[in-house]
Structure 1
Amino acid sequence: MDKIKTDLLVIGGGGAALRAALEAKKSGSNVLVAQKGIGSTAYKVAETAGYNAADGQVDPLDNIEEFYNDIIRAALGMADPRLVEALVNEAAPSIKFLEELGVPFERDGGKYLEVVGCFAVRPRMHIIKGHGEPIIDALKKIIRRQQIPVLNRVMVAKLLVKHNRIAGAVCLNLESGQIFAVECKAIFLGTGGAGQLFRWNHNPVDITGDGYALAYRTGARLVNMEYMQAGLGFTTPVRSNFNNWIWSGYPIVKNNSGSSFIEKYLPQSITVQEIMDAKSGHYPFSGRDASKYIEIAIHREIQSGGGTPNDSIVIDFAPLLELDSAVLPDHLVIKKMWPMTRDYLISKGVNLARDRIEVSTFGHAINGGLVIDVNGMSTVEGLFAAGEVAGGPHGADRLGGNMLLTCQVFGARSGKAAAGFVRDNQPVDINDNLLAGEEKELKSFFNDQGDFSLPALKKQLQTLMWSNYLVVKNEYTLNQCLSGLKQIENNLEDAQVASPAELGLRLEIKNMVDTARMMCSAALLRKESRGSHYREDYPDIDANYGKPIFITENNDTMHITFGSY
């Protein structure tokens, strides 16, 4: 097997990965970036993105302590306070860094445009038009200037670990089919989440839980895997987030036959306007307040046959088209954000008055991942992570505007720390016989006579998880998921694999199965509802379950338990 040597292998092409690569290079390390796609991309899931920092420009009472308290309050006991402290202290400097790279933050007069983000109590969410794209574009430019080599269309099939130390990785070129090894002292995971687990999701097609699964198989510790954020998104005529401020305008929600339906899923003491008011405060689905009945009603109506052929419901924007944002109170987020949303939809060719606009429940982001320290090191020496693949900065719920922030703060911290680790440690030898065995196993997956189609298996998995896990789950549906995942895993052994790209898809589906199994197992163990984790058989929060759930693998067996950071 051919080998490439470097100090640090960065896996992924998003904001966390590029920031880690940049900081490690600036600190003197030889860095190699491997990504499954061609060119780094951002999750452009909405017209804008939020980026939190407590600068006190809009609200003079906001400060780092208030920011910290908001995160801890939203996390409901599931966040690592050490990571939260690092995050809030380095948020404002990270904005300054991005602005120096040319990332434009929206302004309102002479100040930043800042609004109250999901689950926050003060306006500190800075607005970036174009979602995360401006950040990625700026980082790509400096990565090229620094001449950091990037391997496109390369998938990491396995992390190589010896005595709990990173030794390297086995890689597959998805075009040529070449299998090769990267020998390195450290690895950074910036692989994003696992949104592709769900029939509707906001993620690119290559966000398949790779980082979670690769790390799990090395014995790394993971946390909070049951906390999968769900939310609403447009399915037609455009694909985008259905942002929470839209609910302040009270859109009309109908099923496929044109009938209102939300009322029949509500307790008698709650009105539709009340749940829309609650929903306007945060985008993600959460069991913490009455807003949960929006997603529950929509998901159940679709599951009961009232949805469109697109597994969606219909939204009538008539009340918003009559809205005069100029007369709205300043404290309402919709006052400043609805014009941006409206203009974005129009720019995409949407006629809000005439088009049939459909919305469904989407997989959004995972709030858990690898357990890391304040410098991004996992429980495996030399394995670093940041962004959605890492756990601890968030908990049961996550502040809107904190994901892009964590990518930058912990991407930077990880890159610097990985460079220090590289300086202080010698490489771990990789046995050639081991590499030969890994190559043989990968090649054994080629099977042009297989009985099962890989795209069909992926679609089956996405439907299974979307139907039984995403919003409404209980012991029965979670066991349905686990049994379905086992069947998909078995069928994967006889799947048709005839090209390098199909081999990559096979590896992705295996990663999806392992990630989904962790999520379902944690959700089964947590017999309560807490934030983004909602079980209809245990609908209330329970103080007896007030600790995070940790997952490790040893000898092909999952070990799962409540514990502390």
Structure 2
Amino acid sequence: MEIKKTVETDVLVAGSGLAGIKAAKELSDLGHRVHLVTKMKIASGSSFYPLKASLGTQVTKDAEDEQTFLEDIEEMSRGMHREDLAEVYVREIPERVKEYPEIGVDAKKLEGERKACFAPNARNIYLLSDWDRIRRKVGEIFARYDTLSVMEKTVILTLIKEDGRVTGAVLLDANNDLVLVRCKAAILATGGFGSIYKHNLNPNDVDGSGHILALEAGARLVNMEFIQFIPGITSPKYKTLFGEHTLMYCKDIVDADGESLLRLMLPEGLSLRKCLEIRSTHGPFTHSLESKYFDIAMMRRITETGNEEGFRLLFDPAIYENKEEFYTVYLDWLKERNVNLAEDQIRIAPFAHASNGGVFIDPHGRTGVDGLYVIGELSCNIEGANRLGGNSTGACMVFGKRAAEHCAGYIGGIGHGTAGEQQASERLSAMFGNPAMDAESDADAAADRAREATEKIREILWYHANVVRSESGLTAALDEIRKLEQAVDLPLLFSRPDKRQLAFKARNFLMLSRVLLLAMLERKESRGAHYREDYPDEDQAYNRRLFVSADPKGQPHLEFLNE
């Protein structure tokens, strides 16, 4: 496998969402050479998803609010978060939010105080929006640094380690050529894995490739079973983020026949109005609140019928009389897209949105592997079984800066590794195998099978690893994934440069889907974002976090630990 070129840098940064941008700029300000690679264009990933109006950052009000904020996180995490990360966030976010303009982001503070999603208490909220403008400003800022280079439409195939530390990586660039990078450290900020689901509210580059990179490098994953599913609009504009706060003006959610989806499902003592009011306070599904019936009802009906068109919301036109900024920003944004909640037939369904779990890190973004840092949604940060709204964006700023500062100190005392083409080729052969010399037509057929397999994985996960899960469904899904592994010819695909991207995606999807399904099977309870029909209650026996590591053969090893 021919390496087309070699790049030498101090730090390799992967990902150009908020976390990657923050880390790259901090390191550049400190005078270090940074090579940033991104799967799409600069300013991409979930941070800059075009079909949502805005993002929020929740900020500690004052010193007195610090303890209250920590208690809010503890309550909603259901004991599944890391306390020291939460303490760092609560203490440092007031300063980090001031640094948004330095990376090209204009964060507007909302008037007064507001409860973020899942937050029991109100505090300061800063709103981020206008993604195109942010992209332009990020490009202008990056252009000022001679020591900062960028490769767009490029993926990291594998990390290279020497003597236990990360010293390089092999990239696949926009031309499907292999590039060797020699570095002193790597910071991964490649985001979550929403696009592994058929219906998701993420760009296509949010594919979980960073999770497999880190796992194979020796890092551990944790809380992978806790995945946010959030109502998304299926019609009139598919894959648009739904503003849950608008449910305060929703009269009912109905099926294709106009029959209420909720009325017959609600337990005695919980009215339709009350369920919708509670559901209006949080975006993602949670087992922790009585509003859970809203999402469970949708997913049960979908799995029973196979109808994915979604369910209609009946809105009170009075919603357009509410002039609160939180409403007007969203409603005006919908209007620009020719969507009117009161006049159009608005249909929604559960969409995969964000991963609460990820790579296990310490307060400096360290993974336990020397020279490897992880930040952003790729990390398992301050979230637990649920995540408070507005913390994920802020965590990009807090831990992006912390990882960059620690990394700067780390690389100051070490030199570059000596990894060369032979080591890179050996690593790729171990990952993808060595093919026989098949005809080109066979490679085309193999590519068709791989595409079918990746699409099948997305469908399997959406139906069996969504809001409603069970032992039988998860086991059946795992069996299907194992069969698909036999249908994908990775050695043949990777031997053809024009099919390397497909081989990489198929391999990641096969590996990550198994990790997710195994984690969901292990947690035999319902807690936060994790819901099991066969284990519908939270069980104190599972008051530990589930860790995933790679065994000596590269297979997932799962273990509950008090860490």
- Map 1:92-103 to 2 at 5 A: 92-99=94-101, 103=105
**Matches of 2:135 and 2:525, distance apart in 1:** 38
Gaps of 5+ in 1: 327-334
Q: Is the 8 A contact 1:192 1:387 kept in 2?
A: yes
Gaps of 5+ in 2: none
Q: Is the 8 A contact 2:165 2:371 kept in 1?
A: yes
Q: Is the 8 A contact 2:191 2:378 kept in 1?
A: yes
Aligned-CA RMSD value: 2.4
SS of 1:381 mapped into structure 2 = coil
Output the amino acid matched with 2:300. R
**Matches of 1:501 and 1:204, distance apart in 2:** 22
More moved, 497-506 vs 423-432: 497-506
Residue in 2 that maps onto 1:68: 70
**Matches of 1:350 and 1:14, distance apart in 2:** 28
Residue in 2 that maps onto 1:330: none
**Matches of 1:428 and 1:272, distance apart in 2:** 62
Output the amino acid matched with 1:161. K
Normalised by the size of structure 1, how large is the TM-score? 0.91
**Matches of 1:400 and 1:107, distance apart in 2:** 15
The CA deviation string for residues 64-123 of structure 1, in whole angstroms up to 9 with x for no partner, is 222222112211111111111111111111111114556333355xxx454211121222
The CA deviation string for residues 354-408 of structure 1, in whole angstroms up to 9 with x for no partner, is 4222211100100111111111111111100111000132111111001111111
**Matches of 2:527 and 2:132, distance apart in 1:** 32
Following superposition, the deviation at residue 32 of structure 1 comes to 0.2
Q: Is 1:512 matched with 2:520? A: no
The CA deviation string for residues 112-149 of structure 1, in whole angstroms up to 9 with x for no partner, is 45421112122225242527666655444322222411
The 1:98–1:501 alpha-carbon spacing in structure 2 relative to 1, beyond 3 Å, is: farther
**Matches of 1:36 and 1:444, distance apart in 2:** 26
Residue in 2 that maps onto 1:530: 527
The 1:5–1:348 alpha-carbon spacing in structure 2 relative to 1, beyond 3 Å, is: same
Q: Is the 8 A contact 1:125 1:401 kept in 2?
A: no
The 1:502–1:354 alpha-carbon spacing in structure 2 relative to 1, beyond 3 Å, is: farther
Q: Is the 8 A contact 1:75 1:397 kept in 2?
A: yes
The 1:126–1:138 alpha-carbon spacing in structure 2 relative to 1, beyond 3 Å, is: farther
Residue in 2 that maps onto 1:234: 233
**Matches of 2:301 and 2:126, distance apart in 1:** 34
The CA deviation string for residues 269-320 of structure 1, in whole angstroms up to 9 with x for no partner, is 422222112212211101001111111001112222284xx43112222x14
More moved, 5-14 vs 489-498: 489-498
SS of 2:349 mapped into structure 1 = strand
SS of 1:550 mapped into structure 2 = strand
The 1:257–1:211 alpha-carbon spacing in structure 2 relative to 1, beyond 3 Å, is: same
Output the amino acid matched with 2:537. D
Output the amino acid matched with 1:54. T
- Map 1:108-507 to 2 at 5 A: 112=111, 114-130=113-129, 137-147=136-146, 148-174=148-174, 176-238=175-237, 239-305=239-305, 307=307, 310-317=308-315, 319-321=316-318, 324-325=321-322, 335-438=324-427, 447-450=443-446, 452-493=448-489, 500=497, 502-507=499-504
More moved, 463-472 vs 410-419: 410-419
**Matches of 1:429 and 1:300, distance apart in 2:** 55
Identical counterparts, % of pairs: 29
**Matches of 1:131 and 1:369, distance apart in 2:** 28
**Matches of 2:213 and 2:560, distance apart in 1:** 22
**Matches of 1:531 and 1:17, distance apart in 2:** 28
**Matches of 1:84 and 1:353, distance apart in 2:** 40
SS of 2:350 mapped into structure 1 = strand
**Matches of 2:133 and 2:356, distance apart in 1:** 23
SS of 1:232 mapped into structure 2 = strand
**Matches of 2:28 and 2:105, distance apart in 1:** 21
Residue in 2 that maps onto 1:5: 8
The 1:141–1:271 alpha-carbon spacing in structure 2 relative to 1, beyond 3 Å, is: same
Following superposition, the deviation at residue 486 of structure 1 comes to 1.5
**Matches of 1:73 and 1:135, distance apart in 2:** 34
Q: Is the 8 A contact 1:78 1:392 kept in 2?
A: no
The 1:370–1:134 alpha-carbon spacing in structure 2 relative to 1, beyond 3 Å, is: farther
How many residues in Structure 1 have an aligned counterpart in Structure 2?
546
Residue in 2 that maps onto 1:332: none
Q: Is the 8 A contact 1:255 1:306 kept in 2?
A: no
Output the amino acid matched with 2:299. H
SS of 1:373 mapped into structure 2 = coil
The 1:544–1:137 alpha-carbon spacing in structure 2 relative to 1, beyond 3 Å, is: farther
**Matches of 1:197 and 1:151, distance apart in 2:** 24
Residue in 2 that maps onto 1:560: 558
More moved, 481-490 vs 279-288: 481-490
Following superposition, the deviation at residue 501 of structure 1 comes to 5.5
> Paired residue for 1:43, among 27, 46, 49?
49
Q: Is the 8 A contact 1:91 1:409 kept in 2?
A: yes
SS of 2:21 mapped into structure 1 = helix
**Matches of 1:5 and 1:40, distance apart in 2:** 23
Following superposition, the deviation at residue 351 of structure 1 comes to 3.4
> Paired residue for 2:20, among 17, 21, 42?
17
SS of 2:412 mapped into structure 1 = helix
Residue in 1 that maps onto 2:546: 549
SS of 2:548 mapped into structure 1 = strand
Q: Is the 8 A contact 1:371 1:378 kept in 2?
A: yes
**Matches of 2:24 and 2:447, distance apart in 1:** 42
Normalised by the size of structure 2, how large is the TM-score? 0.91
**Matches of 2:104 and 2:378, distance apart in 1:** 26
Output the amino acid matched with 2:53. E
